[in-house]
Amino acid sequence: MGLRKEYVRLLSTKIAEELVQREMIEVPENLNLAEQLFQVMDAEISLEDRLNEEVRTLLNQYSDEMRQKGASYQEMFKLIKNKLVKERKLIL
């Protein structure tokens, strides 16, 4: 997506601090809430990157066929990505 991990870590720390400070949640002593939030946020943010890589892999498998039929890589990329997003009910 483009967010640097340092920024995501900063956001997760700030969110954890705010939740605890406002007494919206109680956190056990041995739980690192900021780290847990970071893991979830990082996974969500990298979702689009993983999807793009999957689409590239699919297109590489059919590159010869696409070339023969004159299909545009960019158009096919968008088409396949949109189809996978709908099939998997992803929110990017």
pLDDT tens for residues 33-81?
Answer: 999 999 999 998 889 999 999 999 999 999 999 999 999 999 999 999 9
pLDDT of residue 45: 86
The confidence score (pLDDT) of residue 75 equals 95
What six digits make up the tokens of 68?
A: 């023969």
Q: At what angle do helices 47-61 and 33-45 cross, to 10 degrees?
A: 30
Q: Please, is 80 exposed, middle or buried when counting C-beta atoms within 10 Å of its C-beta (0-12, 13-18, 19+)?
A: middle
Q: Collect all residues with Cβ–Cβ distance below 8 Å to 50 and sequence separation of at least 6.
A: none
pLDDT for res 2? 63
DSSP helix/strand/coil, 27? coil
| Lookup result for tokens 């545009």 | 72
